Every structure is written in structure tokens, then in C-alpha cells.
Structure 1
Amino acid sequence: MKQYLFYILFSFIFYSATAQQSISGKVQDKNSGKPLVGASITVSATQLGTVTDESGRFSLEVPTGSDSIYVSMVGYKFSRLALPKKSRDLTIALATENQALREVVVTGYETNRPLAETAGAIGLLNARDINRFSPATLVPALNTLPGVRMEERATGSYRISIRGSSLRAPFGVRNVKMYLNEVPLIEANSTIPVNLLDASTIGRIEVIKGPAGSVYGAGTGGTILLETARPKAGETSVDVGSLTGSFGLRRYSAAVSSATEKSGILVRYEKQKLEGYRAQSAMDRDVLLLSGQLFPSNKQVLSFHTYYSNLFYELPGGLTRAQYEANPRQARDLNVTNNSHIKLDAINIGIGHQYQFNENWSNTTSIFGVFSFFNNPFTADYERNTNQAYGGRTKTTYTTNLGNIASRFTLGAELSRSFTNSRRYQNNQGLPGRLNLDDEIVRQQGFIFAQAEADLPGNFIATLGASVNSLRYELNRLTDAVTSNIAIRNYNLDPQISPRVGLVKVFSPQVSAHASISTGYSAPTDAEVRPSNAGFNAGLKPENGINYETGVRGNLFSQKLVYDLVAFQFNLKETIVSRTIPFGNAGGTTTVFNNAGNTSQKGIETALSYAFIQAPLQTVSLLKLWSAYTYSHFRFLNYKQNDQDFSGNRLTGTPNHVLTAGLDAESRHGLYLNVTSNYTSEVPLNDANTFYADPFFIIGARGGIRKQLWQQWQTDLYAGIDNAFDKRYSLGNDLNAFGNRFFQAAPGRNLFFGLQLKYLIKAK
């Protein structure tokens, strides 16, 4: 613990001399010569940047020794320019394009490089991708990424799986790390309730698939980096919206934002209610986001966010196949009798600071706090938790030249501490009865990470990194009505090292190849060590494994065709799986966890798009086809449970094939249409592979018109349909469910209609 605190203090007080040079210029459309407002200019290998004003002009102080800048804007080709030796006024012309992978700058692995120069499988969604769907959910957007599967078990109850990681997640998100504005998203019980997030508050998502131990610490599933929506440069506006849809969907939103050269502030409120497709599946959620960035000088950025959610949703429960086929909209009787639901109030607060000391040194540090109140009447008991967690993350980067080799070194640490007061009562039809358990759980987790990058001769880029992780649980059982045992229990894990090595070869601006080897380590969560059957699973071992990955990215035909192909093999030991067992009152169940030996996870992930038209000034400004395909050959190895041998069986919850495809069309006059289809093959529902969910093929669409009215009004009038052919399918299946109640029916055909209005108080 002391070494983490020492490192954080050292990063805060470190300072070095500063040298700067000034650059200025204008960014314009290559064809028309019109100035481009809001184009981003970023200094390579730094956090420094600015945007163009209403005349397309910019000015920026650049550290002496910087060799290039990035210039980018949505709908235009990315440009990387060498800086002139002498200061002069630059004119930069951007050509329209289909956004190629080389031009997408990503933050994953702390590289801040174009995707084509990144060694690793990364999925990216921007605001445009998210807005292809209903603003009521993130599910269809995330499911367009190969290797990523977001499931909805019931209204408001979500899981996210990256390459089969849902084995451990009966609800929420486990074995996947999430960050919001570079601040860790964490709940005290290590389960991230992703249902607290509203789709309209998210402006960008990066998904790192597989172990990323070099910079994000322990984990075998992957890492999701979220950024909240941000105001447009030079704009002050008020935004209101309304949405209505099938199954009682009602949604209202209001936002105020303002951005200047020195600051950007956004306040956004979302209200969403849904009666639900199934019985006992209503949902009610309020979300309030306050986020912003301050630019005290051209060397530093101060960012902050406060994210408050008030969430209520009912739990209909899993169905047997006979019940599911007879009436997929019914709820389990016991869930209705016990009024099973979840009520969650939570606030997440994060503050971050970036500082560019000089052309060589920079630091980014963030601190965060999470406070939540959790109520869950269920079939077995009534759980009430009070949670609090806090911590920080810091990294210092040194950029230099080792001879003729440009190099970058990063050293950082992340530390968190959480406290949970968890009480479990008898469930008297949705009201707490006799107290059965009263636990206090303290969790301390931290890691130190280091990474080195080098631009080698021959257009090779090498990365070497590692993290050292530690974890400790302390359980103080104050009341135990079942066994009358009052005790303090500890669960400690020895420090674990997770190394990673990656290599990229850039053959040309049109193609690059990458390969990496990384190890993963994932400790059991609080909910797994302390399941709801009143036990303490001290014998549960952490998962660990090694991932081999290779891929190629590029574009053809003047960047109209963009492709990304990845093949991987992940060998995982001590795989943690979940199953439900009977517990409590008649018919009640609970979830327990155990190690399942080893698994072999091989797969191929592909993303492909072709832009027939990408011309903002033409009548038809966009016409693009795209697709994403995932092949998963996941198998259990050496897995025995009691007298049953599941070795060689398919990994529970993972389909062999998933194919998504879509069409995007837009006109210069504001009309747009987005069509998306999804095919998912059969899914094994238990470790024995004796039950499967049926394959399904669904289609959805959103279309509308976005218009500028007069000088100050912007409108978006839209309508959409999901599951257009009214297919019956189960998306968020309960794995290894007791009584064979695996099926959680997804909604049938449903429509939605919405209107978004924006009033521009001030615009450049």
C-alpha cells in the first residue's frame, strides 16, 4: 500500500522545465475550400490539442521537439503532418472519406496512436454508431462489435461478455473492467451494474478484447473505456427530447451545454420508464450527468464528472423450455409472489488532471468515489447493501529518442478500497423479514503498471509492458442466524505479474499487421467469494491464462473498403463458472461459483465495411454496407464436477457463430436510414451441453430526418423498429440454471418514435 501512495505523491509534485513553439493555421475542405469548424488538432505523443474556430483557424503552443500533429474531423480523412522547423501559418486541406482504421486514434493500451499502429484487438463505437439505434439501450450498438456480446436478461438487467467471459456473470458485469472518462467504474462487490448508464450520456466506447494486463491490471475478459458525451466546441445550447414506444416505453431528456476555448460543461438529465415485454418486468430510471473539462493553460486539462442514477426494475425470472414455448411473456410464479426486483441508487464521482510538463514528460492522475444503496428482494432472500468505494489512478509518461528510435515509457499505479455493509433478510413478498446475515466486507486492490514503446526501423512498433497486482478481502460477520457463527475471515492473494508484448508492422498507409502475447489474471469477486448461500468460498482460485493474438488491418480502393481481421487463442486455467442451487424457502435458488479446470478459447473476429458513397456535399452523402463476424471455438478441458466429466464440451453461454450486418444511408438534406441484422447460432445453456438456446435472426432499423431550422434550431425526428419479424428468442439466458429455467425471453416486435430539439444560444 505504501508504495502506491508514494508513487501517487511523486507524480503530483514532479516538475520539469518547459519549452514551447507556436503554430497556427487554417483547416478547410479540400474540394470546396470552405473552413472546417471543430476540426481537432492534437500534438503527437501528448495530451495537448485544440479545435478550429468559426473561421476554421487554430493556434497552439507545441513543445519543442515534437515532430508532428494529428488533424481529424468526422467524415474527413485523418491527416498527420510533420511540423515545420520554422513557425509559419499552415493551410491544411482535408478530403472527405470513409473513416479508415488508420485514421482512428485510440486511447487503448495508453498509446494515443492510430488504430493501424496498435498491437491488439480493439472495438470502437463513436456517437454516430451509438445513435444508429434507439437511445433507450446500448445493447444493439455493443453487439455490432465482433467478440462482444451484450445481453438483456430482463428489462434493465444486462450482462457484457467479451470472448466468453459471461460464465461468471449471472447479472451485471464481472471479469470485464470498465472506465468512465479514464476513471475506474467499480462497485464495492466488484460487480459493475451497467444498467446505471444511459445510452445518450455516452459519446464514445473503446473495447479492448482479452487480457490487457500491461496497463489495466488484473483481468482476463477485457476492458471497456467509456467517454461521456461532450459539448461541441464554441457552442452553447439547450437540448430536449422525447421518445415513446411499444410495451409502455416513455423517455424524456433535457440537456444544457457550453464550450469555450477555456472550458466545456454538460448537464444532462434522462428519465426512462417501461412497462416491459414480460409480466413482472417494469423499469423506471433517472440519470443525471454533470461533466466538464477546464483548460487552465495549454499544458493542462482538468476534467470531472458526477453521474447519479436512480434505478428500479422488476425481475420476471427464468422459464423452462415448456413455459417459454407456451407463453414467453409470462413470469415465474415465485418471482411474482416474492415481488422480485432491484432498486439501486448510486453516484459516481471522478476528477482527472492531465499535465504536459515539457516535450518529454507528462502526467495524468484521477481520483474517484462511488456510493450506492442496493435493495433486492429475490426468490431466496431479501438483500440490502450499502456500498462505498474510492481510489485513484496515475500514470507518468516520458517520451524521448534513443538514438534514432522514438521511444515512450509509461509508469503508473491504480489503487482502490471499498466497504460494503450487506444484510440478508427473509423475503416476505417483497418486504424484509427476519435478519439472517449481517456482513461487513472490506476490499483492497491495487496494481503498478509499466510500459515501453519503440518505433523501430522498418516501420515496426514494439510494446513491452507488465503489471503487478494485489488483492485482499476481509469479511466481518456480525450476525448469522443460520449457523450462529460470528467470525472474521480473510481472503488474500499473493502479488501476481501480468506481462504483455506486442509488435506492429506498418507496411503502408493501406495495411498493417500486429501480433501480441499477453497473460491474464482475474481474482474472484466479493459476490463469488461470499455467495448468497451464507458460505465463504475461501477455496475459490483466481483465473489465469495466456493469450496469443495476430491480425491485419487496412483499406482498399481509396479507403472505400475497410477491414480488420483478428485470430486468437486464449488458454485459461482455473476457469470460474456459475450455477444455481436450491436455497431458502420453497423454490428459492441462489448462485454459487467454482473452478472448472481449464478452457481452450480459439476464435476469429472480422469487421468489414464498404462505402459506395461518402460525399457530404452530394445529394446522397453516405451509402455504406458493413458487417462483423465472430467465430468461437471454446471448449472445456479437464473439467469434472462430482462424477460428471465435461471435458471437451462447448463453453457454456457462447455461440459458435455471430454475424451482424447493416446498411447506413444519409442525404445532404438530412434524411437518414440505418438498418441492422443479427444472426446468432445456438447457445449451450449448461456445462453438460444437454440444453441449448435456439439460433435466431433479427432485423431492426432507425430512420428519420435531421434538419437545421433557421439559424438556431436543430431537429431530429425519427422512428424505428426492433425485431421486425417478431422472432421468438432468448438473449440473456440463465446459465446452469436450477430446474432447467434457462430462458429469458427477449421482446417481440416493437416500435419507437422520437423527437430531439436543440436550441443554439451561441454557436461559432
Structure 2
Amino acid sequence: MLLPQALLAQELLSGYVLRADTEQPLQGVTITAGTGEQGISNENGYFSLAVSTSPKRIVFSYVGYKTEVLLNPSTEQELRVLLQPGAANLQEVVITGYETNRPLLQTAGAVSYIEREVIERFDESSIVRAVNMVPGVRMEERAPASYRISIRGSSLRSPYGIRNVKLYYNGIPFTEANGTTALNLMDPSNIGSIEVLKGPTASIYGAGTGGTVLLEPRRAAPGEESLEVGAIVGSYGFRRYTATARVGAERSNILVQYAKQEYDGHRQQSAVDREVLLLTSEFKPSDKRTLSANLIYSDLYYELPGGLTQEQYAEDPSQARGGMFGSVAQNASMNQKSIHVGLKQEYSFNASLRNTTSLYGLHRFRNHPFNTDYERNTNQEFGGRTSFAYDTQLGGIGATFTAGGEFQRGFEAARTYDNNGGNVGDLRTDDEVVAKSGFAFAQAEFELPANFIATAALSLNDTKYEITRLHQVNSGNYTYNRNLEAVLSPRISLLKQLTDQVSVHANISSGFSPPTEEEILTSDGQLNEELEAEKGTNYETGIRGFALKGKLNFDVVGYYFRLKETIVSRQDVSSVAIFRNVGNTDQKGVEASLCYTLLDEPTQQLSQLKVWGSYTYSHFRFDEYQQDEDDYSGNKLTGVAPHAATAGLDFNTRFGLYFNLTANYSDEIPMNDENTVYADSYVVAGARLGLKRQLGQHFGLELFTGVDNVTDEKYSLGNDLNAFGGRFFQPAPGRNYYGGVRLKYTL
């Protein structure tokens, strides 16, 4: 930030942004030039944007309206831009992943975008059903509020929690230094949108072979001053309350939100009680600087019903794990409080050079009686990320060079005790764990002739663990250090825009995923010193765009991923997860999504009608997998359905009435590496009917009701893979209903 600033000759883009159906001015529209500059329209819809050179594109985006992209805009006359009301078109969304800030049509990679309206298709108890609409991604709920995300089969090593997938919130690291992510500390209402980058993304986001998920916070729109309250009630004692205050201006916005969620549970020992307070703000003190801050305080309690055998699952899926170490008898549950604070600055030194820097801090206390032990942990962590981007011209070729790095350091005081009927017993182990992870990255992007865009990126990743055992029963104390050697991870991609509506892309990327702390230091206190990092290479090609006069959106990707030193997990007799490297896996797949808009006429009574669907094909196999005397080479990859699909129908009326229908299909899933037990295939459907109305000048009202699992299908959504004693199944809720109301007052 101390670099000298340069003054360059500039050109001016200006004009008006209007609502397409009424031609009324729109205030607060974000205007982004392809050269990186940004501006906002005023109360008259007017904008002016100084640019160093004439950009090849300019993007107009506004919440609740379809994003508009103008190619080769003129700087010699005022522009007149009309934005269509309605949900954003997925192909027009500006993608922040890979640090390119380009429309999805110009982004080389398997990327899916989940907007706020998709999260609100359901009861907002979690984002599980919204994420499962994305091809190639499966999100599971082993118990209410116990999440697991699998991108292209990456849940193989995740008996619980989120691993091998990196998450960011507002560009700030949310995955911790030890490689795990506590997504359940966040409420679904805290999320404005989600970008899912599938496959190895180590060139920009560090270690990881699964993928990266970018969460954007909700914001107050410019000029908005409002208060909003909401309540939802449903089956199984589901209760949810939210209160939100928003204040937005041309150069600042603040959002404060409180959410409380309670759930009695659809099984024994499956209740939830969560409170989350979110503060998110953004300030623009000058045209060069934008500052943002986020604070998330979470108080979470949820119970763990445990896995069932196939016989128990068939007999009574509502029961919890029983026996001497049963979930009810041992009060198996999680109680954790945390606070996560993040700061970010975006600064433009001049029209060509810009920087984004973020810092964060985390403190968490966890009290966790489990079936076979009792864990009490305290975590403290800090970290940051910075990146510089430089736009230039090389012989008439537009180029953007990006470089930066990320560092995280976490400290955990971890103690395990005997679990005496849900109470703390004798001390077993007392550990202090320091986790350090970091990487440096560089990327070059070139806008080549004939509408080609080429990208080359590289990162160097490093992870270290320092474990100090202060106490262990019947064993001496020790110190163990593990330095997983630095690994270079490259990525090369090429995109060709065939027309202004269709593009093709291909990329080759390499990934590196070190073991997490919980995989090296298991919950029974044993060290796994032999565990090595996974390494893999991904080959991918795809096509996306529009057809049929823009009514049909399509996105199809095919890939081949070769993973070496694959980590898998198994449970021992005490239900402790044991991890090992098992050789290689071959993963071939196809991901496709389609959306067809039958009607999009904001001025008509039936204003919008569309159908959509997604499909995932996964041909995943173990390769060279030998366990003792058993050879599992050629077996299907555990936890992955060969076929999965989602379909839906949406309609909206001018009056404010809306209806959403969603159906999910999953093929049968192998539950163990031996492929001797499978979870049955299933189809689950749900629907939501609602009414949104503006009551006078200040009040807005939404009433809605919905049903999930309308056919009362019996299925397992959070399978325990390779579970000891055949306890594979974590039953999902049967048919359940909900209804709610939102009231918004605009000052």
C-alpha cells in the first residue's frame, strides 16, 4: 500500500441505468469495467466511470435484477442500460473465483453459482438442499447441524466435518489452519451467494484436491434503510426466528442480523439449539479504497444420534444408537461457542495496480461428550491473505498478473477424558497443537486474439504441525513435529468464446491436500505418523452458454482426475476413525446443468416460468488398493453415487405469488470399501408456495408454506462410511412441513 501512485490518462464511461419494465432509474447498481474499475449509480440512475483504456466489457449488477454485460462499450456517448427484474441469470453472474472477476461465460473452470433465491427455496434450516442442486457436489447432514461437503467424491476421508474442501467468507479464510471447517457455526441467513469451484484449485486457494467454496455475506443495498423480522415453524419442533437491520448508502453499508434456530429432532438425541449474531459492513472512504469488516458470534448445541445398522434402520429409523455406549446413555452431543472476526481492504493504487488484503481472528471453545470419550478443546487462530493484480497491455494483448500469499496459525489446547454417562471422567490425554499452513501463488491471464483467454497459475504450499503431549495415561510425554514438504501446484487453462453466447474451456490442474490435525492425532490419542498428503492431477473440458434466443442456459463439464496416496477412513471397535493412504483412485465424471425459461415477461400476470435440472455421472474406482489379505482394486469409490440428478420448476406472478418445486435423485451408494453394503437409491421431492407483497410505501410482507420429502421416502443423508459394526446409516427426516412469515419495514 506504500507503493507510489501513478496518474494515467483516463477515458470516461457514463450513462443511465433504468428498470426495463418501467424505465424508472435504479440507484445503487454496481458497474464493473473489465479493466477493474468500479462505480455505483446515483438516485437518478446516473453513473460515470473513469477507465485507463476502453474496456472490452462492462458489467451492471444489482440485487433482484438480471446482470447485464455490454461488450466494447463506447466512451464517446452516454449509455442507456435496461435491467430486467428477476433472479440473476446464472450465466451472467460475475465470478470472483480465480481472482478474474469475469462473467461465467468467460471463466475457464467448473464453477457453479448459488444465489440467495436458491437458499430461500427451502426452510433455511441449513444450506444442504440448496448445495445439493449443484452437479458434482453432495452435502450431507449426519445429524442436524453436523455437515459434510463432498466435491467429486472428496468425502472419502471425512467421517465427520468438512475436509479437503476450502471455504472463504467475503474472501477471508474460513477453513482453519488444521484443514477443517466448522460451517455449522454460521447460519444460512448469513450467506448472500455461494460460488463452488470444483476440482483442484491450489494455484489460487492453496492446499486442496476437492475444491473451494466462496461464501459472500449479505449486504444492505445502496440507499436502503430497513428493519426485517421473520419466523418459521415446522415439523419435529422446528422453530426459527430472525431479525435484520440494514443501512446502505452510496459509499457504505451495514447489516446486523440475529438468528435463532431450535429443533426437537426427528430421531432420539437429535435436537439443535443455535444462536448466531452477524455484523457485516463495507465502507468506501475514497474512490481508491474499500474497507469491509465481518463479525460472527455463534453459540451452538446439537445432539448426535449415531449411526444405525441396516437392521435397526429398517426396524425404526427414528431410534438413536443404543448399547453400553449409546448416544442417549452417553449424551453424545456438541456444545461450542465461537467468534470469528474478519477485516478486508481493497485498494487501487492506480488504474492498473490494485491490492486486496484480509486479516482474521478466531476463538472457539468446544465441549464434546462422544459415545466413547469426552473432549474439551479451546482454539485460537489468526491468519491473513493478500493479493496484487496488475493490468497491462503486451503488444496489443490484454494481460492481468496476480500474485499473493496466505498464512494461518492455529493453537489448540485439546483434552480427552472418560465419558461417564455424559459427565467428564478421568483425564486420558492433554495435548497442545500448533498448526501452521501457508502458500504463495502467482497467476497470469492473457486476452488473446480470436476471443481466446489463457491462464497459467502456480502455488507453493506448506503445512506444519507441532504436537506437545502434556499427559497420557500409562505413557510418557513427548513432542512430535510434522512438516509436510512444500509442493508446487500448477494450473493451466484456455477458454475460447465461440460467440457472444457460447464458450468452451479446458484446463489441467494439480492439487495437494495434507492430512488434517484430526487425521494425524486421532480422538483416542494415537499418532498417525505414516500418513502422507494426497496429490492429484485433473484434466477437464467443458462448454457453457445460451441457446434458443437466450431461453436455454447450459453448462456441461467432463473430467478425469487421478489421485495418488488417497486417504480413506475406517472405524475401529471404539468408533474411533483411523486413516491410511491406500494407493490411487481413478475418477471420471460428467456434470451438466440446464435451465429453460418458458416465460419471462415482468409486465404480465404470469411473469416468469422456468424448468431446470442438473445431472452428475461419477465413474470412480479404487486403483492399487490392498488391505491386509484383501484386494479392493477396481472397487467403486466409497460414498459416491454413480448417478445423481436434480430437477425443478419455478413460477412467479406479477401479483407476488410464487411456487417452487424441487426433486432430488441419488443412485445407490457403496457404504464400505469392500462394496458389500449399499445405501438404497431414492427420490426426494419438496415444494414451497409463497406470496410477496408491498403494503404501502414502507411495509413489505412475505407469507410462505412448504413441504419436504413429500412422498415420505426413507433414506440416509449422512452415511458413516466403513463404520465398525455395520452402523452405516444416519436416517434423514420423513415428510415434514413448515410455514413462515417475513415483515420488512423500509424507512
Q: Say which SS state the counterpart of residue 527 (structure 1) adopts.
A: helix
Q: Say which SS state the counterpart of residue 336 (structure 1) adopts.
A: coil
2:395 equivalent to 1:403:
yes
Q: What letter corresponds to residue 457 of structure 1 in structure 2?
A: P
Pick the aligned partner of 1:519 from 510, 515, 518: 510
Name the counterpart of 2:732: 746
Q: Shift in Å at residue 171 of structure 1?
A: 1.4
Q: In 2, are the aligned partners of 1:61 and 1:298 still within 8 Å (CA)?
A: no
Pick the aligned partner of 2:25 from 24, 35, 39: 35
Q: Which moved more, 1:733-742 or 1:103-112?
A: 103-112
Name the counterpart of 1:427: 419
Pick the aligned partner of 1:604 from 585, 590, 613: 590
Distance 2:365 2:628 in 1: 38
Name the counterpart of 2:131: 142
1:188 and 1:508, CA in 2 relative to 1: closer, same or farther beyond 3 A? closer
Distance 2:243 2:457 in 1: 43
Q: Shift in Å at residue 120 of structure 1?
A: 0.5
Name the counterpart of 1:79: 69
Q: Shift in Å at residue 23 of structure 1?
A: 4.1
CA deviation map 1:488-539 (0-9, x unaligned) = 0011111100000000000001211000000011000000000112211111
Write out aligned runs for 1:691-706 (5 A): 691-706=677-692
Q: Shift in Å at residue 68 of structure 1?
A: 4.4
Pick the aligned partner of 2:442 from 445, 450, 471: 450
Q: Say which SS state the counterpart of residue 508 (structure 1) adopts.
A: coil
2:112 equivalent to 1:123:
yes
Distance 1:729 1:97 in 2: 35
Name the counterpart of 2:337: 345
Q: Say which SS state the counterpart of residue 390 (structure 1) adopts.
A: strand
Q: Say which SS state the counterpart of residue 162 (structure 2) adopts.
A: coil
Q: What letter corresponds to residue 706 of structure 1 in structure 2?
A: K
Name the counterpart of 1:375: 367
Q: RMSD in angstroms over aligned alpha carbons? A: 1.5
Q: What letter corresponds to residue 522 of structure 1 in structure 2?
A: S
Name the counterpart of 1:26: 16
Q: Which moved more, 1:103-112 or 1:176-185?
A: 103-112
Q: In 2, are the aligned partners of 1:671 and 1:706 still within 8 Å (CA)?
A: yes
Q: Say which SS state the counterpart of residue 458 (structure 1) adopts.
A: helix
Pick the aligned partner of 1:591 from 554, 577, 582: 577
Q: In 1, are the aligned partners of 2:35 and 2:51 still within 8 Å (CA)?
A: no
Name the counterpart of 1:8: none
Distance 2:431 2:88 in 1: 52
Distance 1:418 1:741 in 2: 33
Distance 1:731 1:599 in 2: 24
Distance 1:101 1:313 in 2: 35
Name the counterpart of 1:197: 186
Write out aligned runs for 1:675-754 (5 A): 675-754=661-740
Q: In 2, are the aligned partners of 1:215 and 1:449 still within 8 Å (CA)?
A: yes
CA deviation map 1:203-258 (0-9, x unaligned) = 01000000011111111000000011111221011110111000000111101110
Q: What letter corresponds to residue 687 of structure 2 in structure 1?
A: A
Pick the aligned partner of 2:547 from 548, 551, 556: 556
Distance 1:188 1:341 in 2: 24
Q: Say which SS state the counterpart of residue 80 (structure 1) adopts.
A: strand
Name the counterpart of 1:646: 632
Pick the aligned partner of 2:59 from 45, 65, 70: 70
Q: Say which SS state the counterpart of residue 337 (structure 1) adopts.
A: coil
Q: What letter corresponds to residue 615 of structure 1 in structure 2?
A: E
Q: Say which SS state the counterpart of residue 149 (structure 1) adopts.
A: strand
Q: Say which SS state the counterpart of residue 389 (structure 1) adopts.
A: strand
Q: Say which SS state the counterpart of residue 558 (structure 2) adopts.
A: strand
Q: In 1, are the aligned partners of 2:90 and 2:113 still within 8 Å (CA)?
A: no
Name the counterpart of 1:7: none
Distance 2:96 2:17 in 1: 24
Pick the aligned partner of 1:633 from 612, 619, 622: 619
Pick the aligned partner of 1:55 from 33, 40, 44: 44
Q: Shift in Å at residue 83 of structure 1?
A: 4.7
Name the counterpart of 2:567: 576
Q: Shift in Å at residue 50 of structure 1?
A: 3.0
Q: What letter corresponds to residue 310 of structure 2 in structure 1?
A: R
Q: Shift in Å at residue 330 of structure 1?
A: 0.3
Q: Say which SS state the counterpart of residue 215 (structure 1) adopts.
A: helix
Name the counterpart of 2:453: 461
Q: Which moved more, 1:226-235 or 1:733-742?
A: 226-235
CA deviation map 1:238-291 (0-9, x unaligned) = 110111000000111101110001210000000000000000000000000000
Distance 2:67 2:120 in 1: 22
Distance 2:705 2:52 in 1: 49
Q: Shift in Å at residue 686 of structure 1?
A: 0.3
Q: In 1, are the aligned partners of 2:336 and 2:367 still within 8 Å (CA)?
A: yes
Distance 1:409 1:332 in 2: 55
Q: Say which SS state the counterpart of residue 335 (structure 1) adopts.
A: coil
Q: Shift in Å at residue 102 of structure 1?
A: 4.3
Q: In 1, are the aligned partners of 2:54 and 2:75 still within 8 Å (CA)?
A: no
Pick the aligned partner of 1:392 from 369, 384, 387: 384
CA deviation map 1:53-80 (0-9, x unaligned) = 3432223444456554222344435222
Q: Shift in Å at residue 141 of structure 1?
A: 0.4
Name the counterpart of 1:487: 478
Write out aligned runs for 1:84-483 (5 A): 84-86=74-76, 89-94=78-83, 100-187=89-176, 189-333=178-322, 334-481=326-473, 483=474
Q: In 2, are the aligned partners of 1:18 and 1:357 still within 8 Å (CA)?
A: no
Q: In 1, are the aligned partners of 2:137 and 2:152 still within 8 Å (CA)?
A: yes
Q: Shift in Å at residue 425 of structure 1?
A: 0.4
Q: Shift in Å at residue 99 of structure 1?
A: 5.0
Q: Say which SS state the counterpart of residue 129 (structure 2) adopts.
A: helix
CA deviation map 1:82-107 (0-9, x unaligned) = 35455x54322345788555422101
The alignment of Structure 1 onto Structure 2 pairs a total of residues equal to 742
Q: In 2, are the aligned partners of 1:156 and 1:283 still within 8 Å (CA)?
A: yes
1:344 and 1:385, CA in 2 relative to 1: closer, same or farther beyond 3 A? same
Q: Say which SS state the counterpart of residue 296 (structure 1) adopts.
A: coil
Q: Shift in Å at residue 38 of structure 1?
A: 3.6
Distance 1:302 1:439 in 2: 38
Q: Say which SS state the counterpart of residue 313 (structure 2) adopts.
A: helix
1:687 and 1:291, CA in 2 relative to 1: closer, same or farther beyond 3 A? same
Q: What letter corresponds to residue 563 of structure 1 in structure 2?
A: F
Distance 1:90 1:480 in 2: 72
CA deviation map 1:13-67 (0-9, x unaligned) = 2232134555432112456433234432112231x42333343222344445655
Q: Say which SS state the counterpart of residue 184 (structure 2) adopts.
A: helix
Q: Say which SS state the counterpart of residue 589 (structure 2) adopts.
A: strand
Distance 2:67 2:107 in 1: 19
Q: What letter corresponds to residue 112 of structure 1 in structure 2?
A: N
CA deviation map 1:84-141 (0-9, x unaligned) = 455x543223457885554221011111011111110001011112111112110110
Q: Say which SS state the counterpart of residue 324 (structure 1) adopts.
A: helix
2:521 equivalent to 1:541:
no
Q: Shift in Å at residue 710 of structure 1?
A: 0.6
Identity %: 49
Q: Shift in Å at residue 190 of structure 1?
A: 2.6
Distance 2:410 2:646 in 1: 39
Q: Say which SS state the counterpart of residue 599 (structure 1) adopts.
A: strand
- Structure scoring higher RCO (CA < 8 A, sep ≥ 6) equals 1
Q: Shift in Å at residue 684 of structure 1?
A: 0.2
Distance 1:472 1:305 in 2: 28
Name the counterpart of 1:4: none
Distance 1:436 1:345 in 2: 23
